């Protein structure tokens, strides 16, 4: 009785992560059959004889191709094993370092390549062996290639997602690049940024205009309880202008309960919702006319129970101050926060007197601080200023139709 390999491609998107320092201010019938499963093919029943036509039938020969080309040299350590199958199905992939061990990996969802689970080593020779089947026939292709030496010019990367942490429903997967990625190179970089969600939810990437950040989000806020797994597989990957990614980054995180903050300038009130239900309404004071608060949908980016706001280097003397701040929650890179402001309690709910922040009483700020998570959405409406793209994690400050225009690759409906 002969053996054969069989299986289906199992969806796999790899996860990564290492935090970038932030400045203050399955089972049967599920379709989850493992990709390569050993099995046996039933032989003829004892005493039975095959018909002449069946005995004469032979599987038709076929061919397929793989990349890199044989004996290719100087490849980046992000190299993948390309697959051109013409109707065939991959049944096994082996990638081995010369004199070293085997490399694990998975096939892309679209079947176009096999992706190593981690960067290859610099200046090493590898041999890839791929076996595929079609119409009962089997064929194998092999290629050997060598990776490049370690590069000198790197692009610094960061992933704003921490392994094992719980985030709010508006938490985008945020990747940062220093320097920014040129527009012509973003598609290649984006292909190496993998995100999966459980339960599955569609998602897409959006690049900010200067290429220093990219956000990944779904059409709607994440479902509470979602597990997000990310792998930003850019270690040694070409990033444009002769530069290469610094390292792979991975993380798996969880989305907590839905907690939303809505602030209306007209009423000078903050409405706090938990799982869609109003739990509290608080008076606020927003930015005065000279320094208005920005209107838009923001995300809590950072939380500090105690901090110092210092603007003593501001060119406008009227805007220079240094003050201790309690229960600060950052909303923008430009310095818009929700925080305790005991000095403006008399104005909260009545007039705007802040330098752009959302002022609440110390008691209310303490309560709010105890409830929120990084990634909770905060929407401010009715002010004189609009939130600028990229001023904070602005992934949700646009419609889905607008958002997907920022992808470097086509987005499926």
Residues 6+ away with beta carbon under 8 Å from 286? 263, 265, 268, 292, 293, 352, 354, 356, 357, 358, 359, 380, 383
CA 210-298-362 angle, 5° bins: 135
357 catalytically annotated: yes
Residue of 206, 237, 355, 357 marked catalytic: 357
Q: Any idea what DSSP says for residue 101? A: -
Distance between CA atoms of residues 68 and 55, nearest Å: 39
3-state secondary structure of 272: strand
The pairs formed by 314-321 with CB atoms below 8 angstroms and a separation of 24 or more are: 319/291, 319/355, 321/355
Alpha-carbon distance of 326 to 308, in angstroms, equals 9
Distance CA 119, CA 250 (A): 12
Residue 249 in contact with residue 18, Cβ under 8 Å?
Answer: yes
Active-site annotation holder among 206, 237, 339, 355? 339
Q: Are 345 and 361 in contact (CB under 8 A)?
A: yes
Would you mind telling me the total number of residues written for the chain in this entry? 413
206 assigned to active site: no
Catalytic residues: 339, 357
């Amino acid at each position: 009785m002969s053996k054969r390999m069989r299986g289906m491609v199992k969806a796999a998107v790899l996860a990564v992560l290492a935090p970038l320092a932030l400045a203050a201010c399955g089972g049967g019938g599920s379709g989850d059959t493992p990709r390569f499963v050993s099995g046996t093919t039933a032989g003829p029943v004892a005493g039975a004889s095959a018909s002449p036509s069946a005995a004469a039938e032979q599987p038709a020969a076929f061919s397929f191709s793989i990349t890199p080309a044989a004996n290719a040299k100087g490849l980046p350590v992000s190299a993948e094993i390309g697959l051109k199958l013409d109707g065939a199905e991959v049944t096994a992939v082996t990638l081995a370092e010369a004199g070293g061990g085997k490399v694990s990996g998975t096939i892309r969802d679209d079947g176009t390549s096999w992706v190593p689970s981690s960067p290859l080593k610099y200046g090493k020779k590898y041999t890839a062996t791929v076996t595929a089947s079609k119409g009962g026939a089997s064929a194998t292709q092999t290629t050997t290639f060598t990776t490049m030496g370690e590069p000198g010019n790197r692009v610094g990367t960061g992933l704003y997602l921490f392994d094992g942490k719980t985030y709010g429903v508006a938490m985008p997967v945020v990747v940062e690049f220093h320097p920014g990625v040129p527009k012509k190179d973003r598609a290649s970089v984006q292909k190496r940024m993998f995100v999966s969600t459980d339960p599955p939810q569609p998602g897409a990437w959006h690049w900010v205009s200067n290429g220093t950040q990219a956000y990944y989000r779904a059409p709607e806020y994440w479902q509470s309880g979602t597990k997000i797994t990310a792998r930003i597989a850019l270690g040694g990957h070409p990033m444009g202008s002769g530069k290469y990614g610094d390292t792979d980054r991975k993380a798996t995180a969880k989305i907590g309960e839905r907690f939303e903050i809505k602030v209306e300038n007209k009423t000078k009130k903050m409405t706090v919702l938990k799982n869609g239900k109003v739990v509290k309404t608080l008076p606020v004071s927003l930015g005065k006319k000279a320094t208005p608060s920005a209107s838009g949908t923001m995300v809590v980016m950072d939380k500090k129970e105690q901090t110092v706001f210092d603007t003593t280097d501001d060119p406008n003397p009227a805007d220079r101050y240094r003050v201790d701040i309690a229960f600060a929650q950052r909303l923008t890179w430009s310095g818009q926060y929700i925080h305790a402001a005991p000095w403006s309690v008399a104005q909260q709910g009545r007039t705007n007197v802040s330098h752009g922040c959302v002022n609440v009483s110390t008691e209310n700020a303490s309560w709010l601080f105890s409830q929120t998570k990084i990634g909770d959405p905060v929407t401010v409406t009715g002010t004189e200023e609009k939130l600028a793209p990229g001023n904070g994690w602005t992934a949700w400050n646009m419609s889905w139709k607008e958002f997907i225009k920022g992808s470097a690759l086509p987005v499926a409906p």
